[in-house]
Amino acid sequence: MPFSILPGAFPRSRWFKLLGVNAETIAVGTELLTPFRQDTNSLFLTSKLNELGISVDFKTVVGDRRADLVNALQVALARADIVIFMGGLGPTEDDLTREAVAEAMHVELTRSPELVTRLEEMFAARKMKMAENNLRQADVIAGAEVLLNSRGSAPGQFLYVVMEGKSKAIVLLPGPPHELFAMFEGQCIERLRKIAPQRHIAVRVLKIAMVPESHADKRAAAIYTHHADVETTILAGTPGEVQLHLRAQAESLEEARNRVDTLTSLLEDEFEDTVFSAQGESLEQIVGYYLQMRGATLAVAESCTGGLLAERLTSVPGSSRYFLGGAVVYHNALKTMLAGVPPLMIQEHGAVSREVAAALAEGIRDRCKSTIGVGITGIAGPGGGSEEKPVGLVFHAVADDSSTEVVERQYPGDRDRIRNWAAQQALDMIRRKLM
């Protein structure tokens, strides 16, 4: 393949000849070819590249074999404008990205005295002896710009090349996510912005609670298919949550925003109060906002969700301002002991019943002296179901000083999905109570 490496960035006009700029990511590491590990860095890079108006058209994963790396680069250069390697820049013999890129481009690797000094200083500062093989990290591909690593020892590299008259870029980034993120944001975005098409992008994420995915899909599609100027992706989140990701590109930011906002309004009209967030917040965050806004507090008594609802609520930093705590009442005796459910009620109606759910919500509210109390009881399975009360049956109750609302649901799926459905439904009931 006829390559030529440019000494620095080439004139912008050259890039403008391209109709749309596309990228290929290459994740490097034999461990990424096992059943246990996955390339996730490319998700971050895709999001950042898309913001620059660059599409990712291919993603490749390749092991720590030099010949395979050379092959992957040759293949990528033939079909993408920007090729980004992730990984293989460390000091070990398995780290071969530098060598492979130099080989594929038919150029030399040269040890940089500045990088050697930097590595020596880094090791000295940590009072560690530097093993000889660390010096490999100071090897620079002829013509490449060095990307310093603020969070690790392996520098990245950035090459501008021309191939068959087309301007291309090859970027070498380290594999550890925190190193890659910092290096890409700090040193690659500006370089890529210069060579990316000038586009502005507006984004919105609408989240919808407790609307079945297939319904949401159909109702949303009826609207967004008439708005081809906004890219719409429907994703299923945790059970009971559907996300609509909207994204528009335009020559001005105002135009991009207009497009996204127009579609957002139409979707909000369609989905009404099932839309709980238009800025990406989680349902537990939204519930937290509402509780703080109302100066209200919350306590929960969970049976079948076994702590999942409390765990989600407390995953939000600062949740101690409105979440007091509660009880996990797996055993029936604890329903009485910790939440004051009368034993006779359990005997009469069963632990999984409308009555016990209400008593849990009222009891935990009373004992914890919270504004709102929540009770959940159900059958998560796989055992414990009966014809009358099958696996997946859950009662959810939300109590405040004026009333107690109980909702009965029959959820599909396995133990994990049923528990997640139930926690989501309870959060949505709290949200509606506070709305």
Site for a second copy in 278-307 (CB under 8 A): 299-300, 302-303, 305-307
Question: Could you say whether residue 261 binds a second copy (CB under 8 A)?
Answer: no
Least distance (Å) from a second copy to the CB of residue 253? 20
Query: Does 309 participate in binding a second copy (rule CB under 8 A)?
Result: yes
| Least spacing, CB of residue 162 vs a second copy, in Å | 21
We find the least distance from the C-beta atom of residue 320 to a second copy, in angstroms, to be 6
CB of 272 to a second copy, least distance (A): 25
Q: How many residues does the chain have?
A: 435
What is the DSSP secondary-structure string of 56-82? EEEEEEE-S-HHHHHHHHHHHHTT-SE
- For residue 162, list its beta bridge partners: 4, 167
- Chain residues 35-64 in contact with a second copy, contact rule CB under 8 A: 35-38, 40, 43-44, 46-47, 50, 55-63
Which one, 3 or 44, has the nearer CB to a second copy?
44
Interacting residues with a second copy between 136 and 175 (CB under 8 A): none
Kindly tell me which of 332 and 404 has the beta carbon lying closer to a second copy: 332
Report the distance separating Cα 404 and Cα 427, nearest Å.
15
Residues 194-233 that bind a second copy (CB under 8 A): 233
Shortest separation between residue 79's beta carbon and a second copy, angstroms: 6
Residues 329-368: x where in contact with a second copy by CB under 8 A, - otherwise, as a string? xxx-xx--xx----------------------------xx
Residues 391-430 that bind a second copy (CB under 8 A): 415-416, 419
Compute how many residues bind a second copy; rule: CB under 8 A. Answer: 73
Non-local (6+) Cβ contacts of 99 within 8 A are 66, 109, 139
Among the listed residues 92, 279, 315, 386, the single contact to a second copy using CB under 8 A: 315
d(CA 300, CA 327): 6
Residue pair 426/410 in contact by the 8 Å Cβ criterion: no
Contact predicate 232/246, CB 8 Å: yes
Smallest distance from a second copy to CB 17, Å: 20
**What long-range pairs does 152-156 form, CB within 8 A, spacing at least 24?**
152/176, 152/179, 153/90, 153/91, 153/119, 153/122, 154/89, 154/90, 154/91, 154/95, 154/179, 155/89, 155/115, 156/89, 156/183, 156/187, 156/188
Is residue 106 within the footprint of a second copy (CB under 8 A)? no
Find the helix or strand (DSSP H, E) in which 162 lies.
strand 156-163
- Measure the CA–CA gap between 4 and 306, rounded to whole angstroms: 62
Does a cis peptide bond (omega within 30 degrees of 0) precede residue 382? Answer: yes
Burial class (CB in 10 A: 0-12, 13-18, 19+), 339: buried
Would you say 1 or 43 has its CB closer to a second copy?
43
Binding of a second copy at residue 75 (CB under 8 A)? yes
Q: CB of 232 within 8 A of CB of 263?
A: yes
State in angstroms the smallest separation of the CB of 180 from a second copy.
14
Site string for a second copy, 240-259 (x = CB under 8 A): -----x--------------
Strands (E), 81-153: 82-86, 109-111, 139-141, 145-147
Q: Which is nearer to a second copy, 197 or 307 (CB)?
A: 307
Nearer to a second copy, 10 or 58 (CB): 58
Nearest distance in Å: CB 213, a second copy: 13
State which residue, 108 or 318, has the beta carbon closest to a second copy: 318
